[in-house]
Amino acid sequence: MGQGMAAIFVVIIIIYFVILILGRKGNKKES
């Protein structure tokens, strides 16, 4: 159970940072 949840969280946290970076680049472009 722990291994499965850990794997999901790893992928999701990477995607979280991807979204943060995409959002920041989008903001920079707008300003």
Partner 1 sequence: MSFLLDGLLATTWKQLIMYGVGALLIYLAISKKLEPSLLLPMGFGAILVNLPYSGAITQMMTGIGEVEGILDWLFSVGIHAAEAMPLLLFIGIGAMIDFGPLLVNPKLILFGAAAQWGIFATISVATLLGFNLVDAASIGIIGAADGPTSILVAQVLGSQYMGPIAIAAYSYMALVPIIQPFAIKLVTTKKERMIRMTYNPRNVSKRAKILFPIIVTIVAGYVAPASVSLVGLLMFGNLIRECTVLDSLSETAQTAMVNLITLLLGITIASTMKAEGFVTVQTLMIMGLGLLAFVFDSIGGVLFAKLLNLFTKNKVNPMVGAAGISAFPMSARVIQRMGQEADPQNHLLMHAVGANVAGQIASVIAGGVILGLVPGLL
Q: Which residues bind partner 1 (CB under 8 A)?
A: 1, 3-5, 7-16, 18-20, 22-23, 25-26, 29-30
CB of 18 to partner 1, least distance (A): 5
The single-letter code of the amino acid at 9 is F
CB of 15 to partner 1, least distance (A): 6
How far is residue 31's CA from residue 29's CA, in Å, rounded to a whole number? 6
Based on the number of CB atoms within 10 Å of its own CB, is 7 exposed (0-12), middle (13-18) or buried (19 or more)?
exposed
CB of 14 to partner 1, least distance (A): 5
